[in-house]
Each structure stands twice: as C-alpha cells, then as structure tokens.
C-alpha cells in the first residue's frame, strides 16, 4: 500500500542517538520504499516555543537539514524543507486551534514535563504546540507519521482534531486522521545516566546522550561512563526486567546492528559490561562517525543547504497552499 509520510524534527541544538534511532533512521527506510511519498520538515516554528538565539537558530536549522541528508535522506526523492517557509502551517494552526478543545490540550503530558513547576511562565506557544504539529500533518493528507514513543499522544490529538473538523463541517474524510509509525521495540532511547529518563537534548548533562556530531573519543568516553548495574549480561529478555540501563544499552546495540534483542543477548550472555561496552562503542562509532563527518562536510556549503530548503519549501508550499484554500472554503471564508 502506498503511504504518504510526514514527520518533523526540531532544530534545537545537536541531534542525538534517540532522534536517530527513534525517528531519522526510519525516515530513511520509509523513503527507500518506492511506494511511499515522504515529506520531512525541520520544524523551526516549534523550536521558538522556548527561547532561541536568532544566530544559533539559523545555524541549527542548517545543521538539522545537514543531519537529514547525512543520514541518508535524499532531497530528490523526499521533500525536505523548513516549516517557517510555508506560511500555511501557521495559518492552519490558528484554524485548528479553534477546533481543538482546552480539555484535550490539558491532558498533554509533554507540556507538563517541559513547562515544569512554573507553568505560568511557559509560552502560550509551548501549550498549543501539538496543534501546530497537527496542522503540519493534516495539511499534507499524511497517512503515516514516523515518530518516537514520546510523540504518540500528540498524534492521537492530531487524529481527534481531524475527526472533529470533519464532523463540525460535515466534510467526512476531508482531513485524514494519520496513523503513527512507532517501532515496537526501543521507540524510546533512554539517558545513558538514568535508564528511567528519555535521552534528550534538554538534559543538562552531555554525558547522558550521544550526539550525532560527537567525536570517537567522546563516544567511547560516554559509553564507558554509561550507568549499568553490577550483574553480568543475562541469558534471556525476561531477566532484563528492572534493569533499565542494561536494557537500554542492549537495545541501542540491537537497533544499530538491525537485529532483535534476543540475538544481542545470545551474543553477550554471561559476559560483563566492560566487554560489551567496548563492542557497543565501536558499533556506535561505525554508525555515527560517517554521519557526523558528512554533516561537517555539508555545513561548509551553506548555499547548498539553503537551496535544498528553498526547493523543498516550494514543493511543500504547493501542496499546503492548496489544502489551506480548501479548508478556508469549507469553513466559510
Ligand atoms: P523532537 O524534535 O523532540 O524529536 C524528533 C524525533 O525524535 C524522536 N525522539 C526520540 N525517539 C526515541 N528516543 C528518544 N530518546 C527520542 N527523543 C526524540 C521524537 O519522538 C521525534 O520523532 N513535535 C515533534 C516534531 C514535530 C513533528 C511534527 C513530528 C513537529 N511537527 C509532525 C511528526 C509530525 C518534536 O518536538 O520532536
């Protein structure tokens, strides 16, 4: 079945192994199935829901674009663009914010986590960010959205918004309720310092994550210092329950080596973590270093990156403008 794929990544500093395994690696697999039509967006409008420095933001937009390309996204096969260049995203977001209900947004756990204790000081944008995300997806009639586990609730909201719009305006199937594409295993890569916490750009400790532009030495050092427990690697998956750090590291190995967890366990069963960590660090370096050197190479040619984004915005704009026109007609503008 042919799928229309849409997904986005925020340009907020270094991308990390969680973004790569949870999202970008799958973007590439989906793109390489010729039945799919894929659109990948650098979501800069989402990034400004928290404070950004203009110069840094510009640099990060280019860096995220470079990371897409370096990871294997092909701007000829897929549309690659940044959100702020297609104004339909902002327009659509306003219209859909009149469809979404306060009660729905109040349930969003990511807002609660990101706003922390001082909710009153969070930007309104941070609160309504899932509506912008719904607009991103619905403007392109995306049927499938590849994301990590943490975005699942936002996708459910996008489905609710699509269904309510269709019902309110008696336009059944006009907005397509998208299906999430979340990998069954290891859709949430955890911090190297705490197996209960998601690997995240916003963790103050750089040792908690592997960044796509880390050097070989940094990768070895971070994996060496990654938290584990005192037991050896178990004989089967059941023995991994209540061992979140061990589970995470074995999961990272399995994902990067494209093999099921049980195979990794069989490979290392009974061995101690120092031996496994050495193999893991080598594997991470093997997979990440080519991406990181390609990112650096691409970033030397800003004109090239800007051209990819301009061309992508033109192609995306054509689709989104048409949809927003239809939306306006339906609502009576
Ligand atoms: P963002 O920028 O926080 O993350 C980008 C993608 O990386 C995934 N991810 C992870 N996956 C596994 N383990 C982790 N530790 C981990 N950390 C991040 C995220 O699930 C995501 O898929 N709101 C979105 C971006 C967005 C979007 C969209 C996505 C905007 N519009 C439309 C899909 C469709 C976000 O902030 O992702």
Q: pLDDT at residue 13 above 90? A: no
Is there an atom of ligand 1 within 6 Å of 137 CB?
yes
d(CA 96, CA 104): 13
Is there an atom of ligand 1 within 6 Å of 145 CB?
yes
Is there an atom of ligand 1 within 6 Å of 188 CB?
yes
Nearest residue (by CA) to ligand 1, atom 16, is 18
Q: pLDDT at residue 1 above 80? A: no
Residue 13 or 320, more confident: 320
pTM above 0.85, yes or no: yes
pLDDT classification of 157: cutoffs 50, 70, 90: very high
Nearest residue (by CA) to ligand 1, atom 34, is 7
146: CA distance to ligand 1 center in Å?
Answer: 9
pLDDT classification of 6: cutoffs 50, 70, 90: very high
Q: Report, as an integer, the average pLDDT of 36-48.
A: 98
Is there an atom of ligand 1 within 6 Å of 8 CB?
yes
* Residue with token string 């400790």: 205
Residue 252 or 184, more confident: 252
For residue 63, count other CB atoms closer than 10 A to its CB: 24
- Nearest atom in ligand 1 to 150's CA: 20
User: What residues are annotated to the active site?
Assistant: 114, 198, 201
d(CA 283, CA 268): 14
* Residue with token string 């070989």: 216
The pLDDT of residue 124 = 97
Using alpha carbons, select from 164, 140, 134 the residue that is nearest to residue 321. Answer: 140
Ligand 1 pocket test: which of 8, 11, 157 has the largest number of ligand atoms within 8 Å of its C-beta? 8
Q: Report, as an integer, the average pLDDT of 35-44.
A: 98
275: CA distance to ligand 1 center in Å?
Answer: 32
CA distances from 108 to 19, 23, 48, 134 (A): 20, 20, 19, 13
Q: In this structure, what token pair is assigned to residue 73?
A: 């996204």
pLDDT digits (tens, 9 = 90+) for 112-132: 999 988 889 999 999 999 999
Is there an atom of ligand 1 within 6 Å of 142 CB?
no
pLDDT digits (tens, 9 = 90+) for 199-250: 999 899 999 999 998 999 999 999 999 999 989 999 999 999 899 999 999 9
Q: pLDDT at residue 184 above 90? A: no
d(CA 223, CA 193): 10
154: CA distance to ligand 1 center in Å?
Answer: 10
Nearest residue (by CA) to ligand 1, atom 27, is 8
What are the phi and psi torsion angles at 9 (to 5°)? -135, 135
pLDDT classification of 161: cutoffs 50, 70, 90: very high
150: CA distance to ligand 1 center in Å?
Answer: 7
d(CA 177, CA 191): 32
Q: Which of 223-261 are b and which e, b meaning 16 or more Cβ less than 10 Å from the residue's Cβ?
A: beebbbeeeebbeeeeebeebbbbbbbbbbbbbbbeeeb
For residue 45, count other CB atoms closer than 10 A to its CB: 23
Ligand 1 pocket test: which of 151, 180, 252, 316 has the largest number of ligand atoms within 8 Å of its C-beta? 151
3-state secondary structure of 6: strand
Is there an atom of ligand 1 within 6 Å of 19 CB?
yes
Strands (E), 10-104: 37-42, 79-82
Q: Which domains does the chain have, with CATH numbers?
A: 3-188+302-331 (3.40.50.620), 206-297 (1.10.240.10)
| Dihedral of alpha carbons 204, 205, 211, 214, sign | positive
pLDDT classification of 253: cutoffs 50, 70, 90: very high
The pLDDT of residue 117 = 85
Mean pLDDT for the chain?
Answer: 96
**For residue 298, what are the contacts with CB-CB under 8 A and spacing of at least 6?**
66, 69, 70, 304, 305
3-state secondary structure of 178: coil
Are the CB atoms for 66 and 295 separated by under 8 Å? yes
């Amino acid at each position: 079945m042919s799928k229309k794929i849409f997904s986005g990544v925020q340009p907020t500093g270094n991308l990390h192994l969680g973004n790569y395994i949870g999202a970008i690696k799958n973007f590439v697999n989906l793109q390489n199935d010729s039945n799919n039509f894929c659109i990948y967006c650098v979501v800069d409008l989402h990034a400004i829901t928290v404070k950004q420095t203009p110069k840094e933001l510009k640099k990060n937009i280019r860096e995220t674009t470079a990371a897409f390309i370096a990871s294997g996204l092909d701007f000829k096969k897929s549309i690659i663009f940044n959100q702020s260049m297609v104004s339909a995203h902002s327009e659509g977001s306003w219209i859909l914010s009149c469809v979404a209900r306060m009660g729905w947004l109040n349930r969003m756990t990511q807002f609660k986590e990101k706003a922390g204790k001082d909710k009153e000081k969070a930007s309104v944008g941070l609160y309504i960010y899932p509506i912008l995300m719904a607009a991103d997806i619905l403007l392109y009639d995306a049927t499938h959205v590849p994301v990590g586990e943490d975005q699942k609730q936002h996708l459910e909201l996008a489905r609710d918004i699509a269904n309510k719009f269709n019902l309110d305006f008696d336009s059944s199937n006009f907005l397509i309720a998208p299906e999430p594409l979340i990998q069954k295993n290891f859709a949430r890569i955890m911090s190297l310092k705490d197996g209960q916490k998601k690997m995240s750009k916003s963790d103050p400790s750089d040792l908690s994550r592997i960044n796509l532009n880390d050097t070989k030495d940094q990768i070895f050092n971070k994996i060496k210092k990654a938290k584990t427990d005192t037991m050896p690697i178990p004989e089967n998956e059941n023995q991994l329950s209540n061992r979140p750090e061990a589970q995470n590291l074995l999961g990272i190995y399995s994902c990067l080596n494209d093999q099921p967890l049980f195979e990794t366990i069989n490979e290392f069963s009974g061995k101690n973590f120092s031996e496994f960590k050495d193999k893991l660090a080598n594997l991470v370096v093997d997979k990440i270093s080519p991406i990181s050197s390609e990112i650096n190479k691409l970033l030397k040619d800003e004109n090239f990156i800007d051209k990819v984004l301009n061309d992508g915005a033109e192609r995306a704009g054509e689709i989104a403008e048409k949809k927003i026109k239809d939306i306006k007609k339906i609502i009576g503008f």
